[in-house]
Amino acid sequence: MTRKEFLGLLEEIVEEDPGTLTGAEKLKEQVAGWNSLAVVSFIALVDEHFGITLSPKVIADCKTVNDLIGLLNGKVTD
């Protein structure tokens, strides 16, 4: 999956307009829709598209959108 596609799926989850996320955004401070429901949707997204079950702990350690991409072991390409 490309980075652009990934960001698009994340934008849907956090209810941002398509194309607005750059990756540098700080999750807690700058992404209003990043709440507990979004975390669950994100876990489902990663499970469905990458076959990886992320633990809530590693997700909580992520500070930025780029950190989330970093969890995916290079499966998101530029």
**Can you read off the two tokens belonging to residue 38?**
């979004």
One of 7, 13, 21, 54 touching other proteins (CB under 8 A): 54
| Among 4-12, 22-30, 50-58, 61-69, the segment contacting other proteins (CB under 8 A) | 50-58
Binding-residue pattern over the window 4 to 43 for other proteins, x denoting contact by CB under 8 A: --------------------------------xx-xxx-x
Cα→Cα distances 17→13, 14, 52, Å = 11, 9, 26
- Say whether 20 sits in a helix, a strand or coil: coil
